[in-house]
A and B are shown apart, each in its own frame.
Chain A
Amino acid sequence: MFHLEKLYLIIKREYLVRIRSNVFLITTLLAPVMMILLLVLPLIIQSLTADRSRQFYVYDETGMIADRLAETDSQFYKRVVTDPDTLREQLIQGKIEGYILLPHEILDGEGRAGFYHDGSAGMSVSNRIHSDIRSAVRDIRLDRIDTPDEVRSVIAYHLTIENRTISETGEEAADNGLHAIIGFMMGFIIYGAMIGYGAVIMRSVLEEKSSRIIEVIASSVQPFELLLGKVIGNVSISHIG
């Protein structure tokens, strides 16, 4: 036996109680602000750290790579002849931010370059160093075997791809990845809402249990009606509220 009238009353109460509560008001106002902060804050922090000028010492056994690196950014790479043990000592003492070791066999396609730092260098810094060294080594090796310009241009060729969407009406637009981002965010919101509203309903049940009103309510409605009323009442806030 199922009483729609009772269900409606429970839904209405749950809805009104939730909508009138201060928590609801605050979260409704703050949620968009928090969302924006969540997206913008990392960017701000990133731009703040990027501004800092860094310098890494380069100890180059080949005597060729360091100069090329310095050509790309003489502030970032500084060629030194100090031996690695001293560099290590300086790093430990905090005098330098980091150093790069380039062994001579690297030009033969063997060995490995080393990048040692105090931990302040992030992904972007180590990616940059990696790619700079790779191009320098590649260019030197190409020079050594007198590679013709045609081959160099093949190697340097950078493929570009045009990514466009065509809608049902035939309109064309560049796909700038916005759809993927929106899709990801919506998924995230649904996930968050499921957990959030689950918690709200759980708290509402808990309140009735701890305030003991459950015994009064349970002596007038079926538990199923009560729970269904709670679920609908609370979830409808997100749609109508």
Chain B
Amino acid sequence: MSDPIVLFENVTKQFNSTRAVDNVSFEVKKGRLLGLLGPNGSGKTTIIRMLTHILIPDAGTVRMYGNRIGPDTQARIGYLPEERGLYKKMKVGEQLIYLCRLRGLKHADAQNRIRYWLDRFEAINYINKELGELSKGMQQKIQFIATIAHDPDCLILDEPFSGLDPINSELLKKIMLELKQAGRTIFFATHRMEHAEQLCEDLALFNKGKLILSGEVAKIRASYGNNSIRIRFDGDNRFLDQLKKVRIIHRSSHYAEIRLLNGADDQEVLARAQEHARILSYELTEPGLQEIFIDMVTKDT
């Protein structure tokens, strides 16, 4: 595998009495899609701001291509902040060109790239409109274009799917995977585990400023073993309450995700279920990211 393009070494950042990031070390290799996961206030945004050189670590170093983070590495990063914002009174085209040029692109190049991306997002007709006139979803697309138009090596996307309809979400997913294929490294911060599940190869899970789990998603899941049950049924769901040595991760009237604790028998669960309901599907599998997330965070707390 190639060398890491981003490297955090014993990074610490303190705000007054709160230690937002506490001695965190991890690396990301080229062309990988890393999920930055963690509950609210776990330090994800601070990690991102240090990577974009908006904040400077109190201790430790952040490196990109072996160099310390600084104004020169900023141009190689595309950052989509969680709290979106562009100039409301500026025209879409002018605004995108301005942002591209601030990151070092020539005017003509910027124009070509922006036209290409506006075209891909079916937003080319809005090029001469003021941003404030566009719908929220459309503004979101423009913000995404502002993030990627200067062709950065490294993308940081903080909740990129919020505010997008399913069709545009799919388009965005497709483009993210395309960019990854083209060798871009992507940091993807989210609370939506189903998105993380579909997209991430690696994950870094934070809690209270500490990195509590990191590595390849597939390996992490495999290390948990086949001890999760997903069951779809038709009928009374009260049998779930009678199960022993299990933890219910998710339940609704027709579906449940059940985690087997030490010594529990999966066939026992199936038998109980059959007594009360008609089973539509039953699967014994590795735990999902949601389960791992809850498991790790509650254990840590």
A and B bind: yes
Contact yes or no, B81 A215, CB < 8 A = yes
Contact yes or no, B85 A219, CB < 8 A = no
A212 interface neighbour in B49, B74, B83, Cβ under 8 Å: B83
Main secondary structure of the interface of B (DSSP, over half): loop
Residues on B with C-beta less than 8 A from A211 are 85-88
A215 interface neighbour in B70, B72, B79, B101, Cβ under 8 Å: B79
When chains A and B are docked, how far (Å) is the Cα of A187 from the Cα of B74?
44
Residues on B with C-beta less than 8 A from A213 are 85-87
Q: Interface readout for B64-97 with A: 1 if CB under 8 Å, 0 if not? A: 0000001110110101010111111110000000
A136 at the interface (CB under 8 A from B): no
B99 at the interface (CB under 8 A from A): yes
Residues on B with C-beta less than 8 A from A207 are 87
B103 at the interface (CB under 8 A from A): yes
Nearest chain B residue, comparing its CB with the CB of A16: B94
Residues on B with C-beta less than 8 A from A1 are 70-72
Contact yes or no, B101 A219, CB < 8 A = no
Nearest chain A residue, comparing its CB with the CB of B85: A212
* Given A216-B146, A219-B54, A222-B71, A9:B101 Cβ within 8 A: yes
A6 at the interface (CB under 8 A from B): yes
Contact yes or no, B86 A216, CB < 8 A = yes
Contact yes or no, A3 B71, CB < 8 A = yes
In the complex, how many angstroms separate the beta carbon of B83 from the nearest chain A beta carbon?
5
A140 at the interface (CB under 8 A from B): no
Contact yes or no, A214 B98, CB < 8 A = no
Contact yes or no, B88 A17, CB < 8 A = no
Contacting A at CB under 8 A, from B193-250, are none
Contact yes or no, A220 B54, CB < 8 A = no
Contacting A at CB under 8 A, from B28-52, are 49, 52
Residues on B with C-beta less than 8 A from A10 are 102
Contact-size category for B: 20 to 34
When chains A and B are docked, how far (Å) is the Cα of A222 from the Cα of B75?
12
B191 at the interface (CB under 8 A from A): no
Residues on A with C-beta less than 8 A from B89 are 17, 21
Residues on B with C-beta less than 8 A from A215 are 49, 54, 79, 81, 83, 85
A104 at the interface (CB under 8 A from B): no
When chains A and B are docked, how far (Å) is the Cα of A188 from the Cα of B195?
61
Q: Interface readout for B146-163 with A: 1 if CB under 8 Å, 0 if not? A: 100000000000000000
Contact yes or no, A220 B102, CB < 8 A = yes
B173 at the interface (CB under 8 A from A): no
Contact yes or no, B98 A9, CB < 8 A = yes
**Residue of A211, A212, A214, A215 contacting most chain B CB atoms (<10 Å):** A215
B276 at the interface (CB under 8 A from A): no
Residues on A with C-beta less than 8 A from B180 are none
Residues on B with C-beta less than 8 A from A218 are 52, 54
Residues on A with C-beta less than 8 A from B75 are 220
Residues on A with C-beta less than 8 A from B86 are 211, 213, 216
In the complex, how many angstroms separate the beta carbon of B48 from the nearest chain A beta carbon?
9
B53 at the interface (CB under 8 A from A): yes
When chains A and B are docked, how far (Å) is the Cα of A6 from the Cα of B105?
11
In the complex, how many angstroms separate the beta carbon of A44 from the nearest chain B beta carbon?
39
Q: Interface readout for A208-236 with B: 1 if CB under 8 Å, 0 if not? A: 00011111111111100000000000000
In the complex, how many angstroms separate the beta carbon of A128 from the nearest chain B beta carbon?
57
When chains A and B are docked, how far (Å) is the Cα of A217 from the Cα of B83?
13
When chains A and B are docked, how far (Å) is the Cα of A211 from the Cα of B74?
21
Contacting B at CB under 8 A, from A1-47, are 1, 3, 5-6, 9-10, 13, 17, 21
Contact yes or no, A219 B53, CB < 8 A = yes
Contact yes or no, B79 A219, CB < 8 A = yes
Nearest chain B residue, comparing its CB with the CB of A226: B102
**Residue of A6, A218, A219 contacting most chain B CB atoms (<10 Å):** A219
Contact yes or no, A9 B102, CB < 8 A = yes
When chains A and B are docked, how far (Å) is the Cα of A214 from the Cα of B52?
13
Residues on B with C-beta less than 8 A from A5 are 101, 104
Contact yes or no, B88 A219, CB < 8 A = no
CB pairs A–B below 8 angstroms (16 shown):
A1-B70, A5-B104, A6-B102, A9-B101, A9-B102, A17-B87, A17-B89, A207-B87, A215-B54, A215-B83, A216-B86, A219-B54, A219-B74, A219-B79, A220-B102, A221-B102
